[in-house]
Amino acid sequence: MIEIAPIVPAHIDSFHRTLDTMARERRCLVMPEAPPLENPRSFVQDNISQGHARFTALSAGEVVGWCDVTPKRLPIPRHIGVGILPAYRDRASGVDGATT
């Protein structure tokens, strides 16, 4: 069962692990691994404080995917913004494919 919920600070460590797993696939994200935890922690907390749309896909309380809609500050590849762990892809869970 997948639950979709706004990200909260308690999700940041799990989000970081998911980001790292996806980055190491070297399939969809441009980074070879997740940046140090402090970088996404700061980015997510900034998004929360500014009220930007950032949602997580949760399974048993762990982040298995995410979607964020933030103002474009830098030229960012289109693949960043949505992600789902390989084990949760194409399962008719409402999240299809790795990234969009």
Eight-class DSSP state of 86:
G
Q: Is residue 98 part of a domain?
A: no
pLDDT of residue 62: 95
CATH number of 55's domain: 3.40.630.30
**Domain enclosing residue 17, as ranges:** 3-88
pLDDT of residue 5: 94
pLDDT of residue 56: 93
Q: Is residue 96 part of a domain?
A: no
pLDDT of residue 92: 55
Q: Mean pLDDT of successive 10-residue segments in the chain (100 residues)?
A: 92 94 85 89 90 90 88 58 84 48
Q: Is residue 21 part of a domain?
A: yes
How would you list the strands of the sheet with 53-59, edge to edge? 3-6, 53-59, 62-69, 82-84
